[in-house]
């Protein structure tokens, strides 16, 4: 059994029109959401509801780096991510290829990235009509949302579509309504 947790970067700002997409930082709500997700992770790991990550990889975009920093603050632990350029704005096919290359020594991986790739990956790996969490993810995969997928595989190289169970789908607004969409 392998566990893959997907984390979409937190809400970023568009304040500086001269910044390239890659360099966009988190806005205030994004920083708060990343910390809150980290706090939730710490509590879930303490209760045994979420495994500790033994491998973390992320897009190197500024908003992903800052999301990780916020999660680490809330988690009160370092994640020690490996930054992988292929994750930046990648398709689900690229993400599957990347995941298939994870070392078999790792059982609980965290992948931090962007939409639409993360959402497409989740919808590819988790079969349709497999429950209310899948239905929610299909409607929208908001920023700073964490999705835990349980994969009934022995090696990451066996990852393929339709064989994952979506065990958790945690949106920041579920933890703190002020982190939800603007009215």
| CATH label of the domain that carries residue 143 | 3.40.50.1240
Neighbours of 138 (CB within 10 A): 14
* CA distance between the termini of the chain: 41
pLDDT tens by residue, the chain, 183 residues: 999 999 999 999 877 777 899 999 999 999 999 999 999 999 999 999 999 999 999 999 999 999 999 999 999 999 999 999 999 999 999 999 999 999 999 999 999 999 999 999 999 999 999 999 999 999 999 999 999 999 999 999 999 988 899 999 999 999 999 998 864
Structural domain count of the chain:
1
Cα(127)–Cα(164) distance, integer angstroms: 7
Indicate yes or no: pTM above 0.85: yes
Neighbours of 92 (CB within 10 A): 18
- Of the candidates 139, 146, 141, which has an alpha carbon nearest to the alpha carbon of residue 33? 146
Range of the domain at 175: 2-179
């Amino acid at each position: 059994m392998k566990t893959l947790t997907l984390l979409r970067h937190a809400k970023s700002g568009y304040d500086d029109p001269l910044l390239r997409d890659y360099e966009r930082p988190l806005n205030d709500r994004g920083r708060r959401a990343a910390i809150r997700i980290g706090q939730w992770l710490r509590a879930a790991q303490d209760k045994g509801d979420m495994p500790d990550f033994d491998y973390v990889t992320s897009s190197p975009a500024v908003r992903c780096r800052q999301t990780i920093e916020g999660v680490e603050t809330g988690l009160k632990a370092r994640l020690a991510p490996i930054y992988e350029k292929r994750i930046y704005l990648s398709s689900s096919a690229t993400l599957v290829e990347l995941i298939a290359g994870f070392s078999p020594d790792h059982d609980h991986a965290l992948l931090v990235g962007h939409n639409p790739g993360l959402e497409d990956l989740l919808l590819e790996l988790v079969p349709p009509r497999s429950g209310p969490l899948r239905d929610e993810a299909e409607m929208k995969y908001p920023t700073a949302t964490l999705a835990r997928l349980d994969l009934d595989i022995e090696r990451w190289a066996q990852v393929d579509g339709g064989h994952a169970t979506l065990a958790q789908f945690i949106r920041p607004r579920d933890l703190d309504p002020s982190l939800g969409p603007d009215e």
